[in-house]
Structure 1
Amino acid sequence: KCVLYWPEKRGIYGKVEVTVNAVGESEHYTTHSLTLKCGNQTRVLQHYWYTSWPDHKTPDSALPLLQLMSDVEADRRAAAAL
């Protein structure tokens, strides 16, 4: 699978501190709400990790990927409305 490039709870990468605020599990993907701090700047972002991709081949169906794309777009629109 993939090497995790984000911390389980909190990690420091150079000058950037990354904190995991929440984790959401779906059938085909996992979401992480992350806070990134660098100096006096802070950003909150949503990280999507597609977990259903099979090793050494392509998915049998595109439907889970299309659902992920739809969910990302819905989350983007909801965040823009805030």
Structure 2
Amino acid sequence: CGGDIGMYLLIKKCIVLILHVDNGNFMNPPYLDAHGEVDVGLRRGRPQYLNMKRYDELRKLWLTHGIPSFVARKIEQSIDFGGWMTL
């Protein structure tokens, strides 16, 4: 169904992994704490709540087939020495 494209919510790390072919990048999750902040890695241990605006952004990215261009833009912006590939 997705072919060479994937979008995964890594629950234990509280982050979204977006993949296209042999490339990928991380994205903030659609979950925020009571103060509207992302708790990457769940270090603070506070409850997280679904933020519909962030969820809609992820949904739009998927439904409009925007993942290849999103990943390409993110890769051009940074060099990742062992980030997503070490999972």
TM-score of the two chains, using structure 1 as the length reference:
0.30
Q: Which protein has the larger Cα radius of gyration, Structure 1 or Structure 2?
A: 1
Higher strand share: 1
Of structures 1 and 2, the one scoring higher in RCO (CA 8 A, sep 6+) is 2
TM-score of the two chains, using structure 2 as the length reference:
0.29
Higher helix share: 2
